[in-house]
A and B are shown apart, each in its own frame.
Chain A
């Protein structure tokens, strides 16, 4: 019997069209747009100015606070301007525009492919290196990694969980990374174990990737304390709290952090970035992005420089198909439609999904018949139908009493609702309202 989380969950069609495709490195485009806010927390402060010459890996912007991350150049060339650029949601946010000239890397970066297993650095030195490299959670939440590794006083981690479940349909970025960079990932896991001072690490992989499970299990045999755990295929297993429950059977209380049950969760892409930062001195400036969709000519996994406009990726995968209805940044469940194909790839972009017109239409909404399907599938044990009602009637007290702030916005309720009710859309509005009320009460 395979393990999984206990409450709720759904199993959408997997559609992993790009599975088994090799990672192809894309050449740098003519111009990259590197946003200064690619992470949760304060935006980074630019340290370059117009006309500066930068190399690949040059620091562009310094972390603007404790919860923030450094940003490095992904190309070599000249800073064209520092101006507002359109982000995926249509807002204009500050970004560094760089005109690409050549491909000149910083000398400190080790560009060889040789595997470096030895790491003699102390825990603090590793964390400092991770912070300097600007590494954030690459599963999509983009929380700065060094903050996760520094637990608040009084808490002690005893297990490191590596999130390699990739529960979103369509996406295969983590899968392909494990198949090709398995050794590097395992070295990265040992480095993180040292940094977080834990003796045990578990790599959770969903059972729909048997090749990755076999490959990683074989490699992990020669590493101490690292175990590969196959998990039952269930969405949203990649949610932090769901994964902790699936792997350790520990449940994180409402409003608490994973560290309260002694767990630290890191995405497998983040682990690879940690390996590169610590062993190869390479800051985070490129990542694997899946470009996929049923009508896409050539669904692929690309290694992309951060700041590359998304239409460059789509072009490399065969261009925009005729009847495309929506272009989604991320997977189909949690991703958002992009406002324009010209927005750049960020540290948290795991995929680009092109939906056909037929797939992307909204179906007509009907009345709620209290079938409680949404209650059954909610992985947080909430009552989405009630939360939606509380939001519609602006009953924030009731929404808070029903723990609206625990919603992880996985969209299982909207997916499963037979009446096509916009449960998550409403809950998201209510959640931000209630969070605002809670914040103002605290201050």
Chain B
């Protein structure tokens, strides 16, 4: 008898609860566009934020809400994913140019001699908050790998030989996380280019030519030869450093030949003077054009090299 009462009373409570929940689910239903879920299912789900929205769900919601897909791009999925989204939503997918991260510094260990030693925390953000860097160039890559830590796709790595990050362009999705993480603004997102061919100035040093050259053998000295040579007016020299506008550049490679310091890099082009175009190499295989064959220019400092970092341990004993 006792058991029966228990079963019945619990059962009744259960039914009342179920009815309440059913009523509440109908009454307070939040109507969500089912297409948001569909769009989200075709997105890569990396939640990298490269699209400019908070994660893939945010981007899916924005795609559904938007009148046209113009300017919306999932940098990870690229054009194929955008085409899928377009079919789900019945909208036109905007033709997007694939981009790739480019490291604009070629201050290799040999080209850019160290003037001091940093023994602080191995983080570019911390080092850059403290001082200019281990070399005479205060604009270039610090080499502690904040970009490597920021990359969700394992696409950027420090080359131990050069001390500089290298982008694996097969893996790079141009989400821009590395460019944001770099305190020196060395990394730029550039158009991937036909057959992944790219020409860019691999230097951001704004010092005057002689100063820049003294700090780094591969520095852009702002001489302007490239700008004069360029038939398409794609190159501008500002603050002693040249910049190639990738929307105007037609890949004629004339600037590369005239650059006295080898600061302008060409990637994935077939070797010159060879008729048959070779298969494009990946960025990792391409040796920097101006590898440090030139002797380091900067003179050696005193025997005592002061090391730039905050000292707290000293009085700690």
Contacts and interface: CB of A to CB of B under 8 A. Distances in A.
Given A90-B138, A339-B116, A422-B126, A326 B307 contact: yes
A337 B134 CA distance: 12
Interface in B183-214: 207, 211
B310 to A, nearest CB: 6
A398 B133 CA distance: 30
A418 B51 CA distance: 42
Given A84-B211, A426-B126, A429-B129, A337 B304 contact: no
A91 B132 contact: yes
B120 A422 contact: yes
Interface in B114-148: 115-116, 119-121, 123, 125-126, 129-133, 138
Given A326-B307, A341-B304, A89 B131 contact: yes
Contacts of A424: 310, 312
A361 interface: yes
Interface string A8-36: 00001101000000000000000000000
A411 B130 CA distance: 14
Contact of A320 (B131, B304, B312, B313): B304
Given A359-B314, A426-B126, A89 B119 contact: no
A381 interface: no
Contacts of A337: 131, 306-311
A251 interface: no
Interface string B294-317: 000000011010111111111111
Given A91-B138, A337-B310, A341-B304, A361 B116 contact: no
B115 A340 contact: yes
Interface stretch (A157-165, A178-186, A194-202, A328-336): A328-336
A96 B306 CA distance: 24
A429 B125 contact: yes
Contact of B308 (A92, A339, A415, A425): A339
A339 B306 contact: yes
Contact of A332 (B130, B306, B311): B311
A414 interface: yes
Interface in A75-123: 84, 89-92
A440 B143 CA distance: 29
Contacts of A15: 315
B311 A326 contact: yes
B311 A324 contact: no
Contacts of A91: 131-132, 138
A339 B301 CA distance: 11
A330 to B, nearest CB: 10
Given A332-B315, A360-B311, A89 B130 contact: yes
Nearest to B125: A429
A415 B315 contact: yes
Contacts of A420: 313
Interface string B234-249: 0000000000000000
A339 B137 CA distance: 13
A328 B311 contact: yes
Contacts of B302: 311, 320, 341
A432 B131 contact: no
A151 interface: no
A355 B207 contact: no
A295 to B, nearest CB: 11
Nearest to A169: B315
Contacts of B126: 422, 425-426, 428-429
A245 to B, nearest CB: 24
Contacts of A333: 312, 315
A325 interface: yes
Nearest to A428: B129
B311 A335 contact: yes
B241 to A, nearest CB: 15
A432 B211 CA distance: 29
B245 to A, nearest CB: 28
A414 B311 CA distance: 10
Contacts of B129: 425, 428-429, 432
Given A337-B309, A362-B119, A89 B132 contact: yes
Given A362-B119, A428-B129, A327 B304 contact: yes
A426 B310 CA distance: 12
Nearest to B134: A90
Contacts of A320: 302, 304
B131 to A, nearest CB: 4
Most buried by A among B132, B309, B315: B315
Interface in A290-331: 311, 320, 324-328
Contacts of B317: 13
A320 B119 CA distance: 20
A303 to B, nearest CB: 24
B302 to A, nearest CB: 7
B310 A425 contact: yes
Given A324-B304, A326-B307, A339 B132 contact: yes
A333 B315 CA distance: 9
A90 B306 CA distance: 11
A361 B313 contact: yes
B5 to A, nearest CB: 52
Interface of B: 115-116, 119-121, 123, 125-126, 129-133, 138, 207, 211, 301-302, 304, 306-317
Top 7 A-B residue pairs of the complex, sorted by shortest distance between their CB atoms:
A90-B132, A89-B131, A12-B315, A327-B306, A414-B312, A359-B314, A422-B121
21 contacts: A90-B132, A90-B133, A92-B207, A169-B315, A324-B304, A326-B307, A328-B311, A332-B311, A337-B307, A339-B116, A340-B301, A340-B306, A360-B311, A414-B312, A425-B123, A425-B129, A425-B130, A425-B310, A429-B125, A429-B126, A429-B129
Interface of A: 12-13, 15, 84, 89-92, 169, 311, 320, 324-328, 332-333, 335-341, 355, 359-363, 411, 414-415, 420, 422, 424-426, 428-429, 432
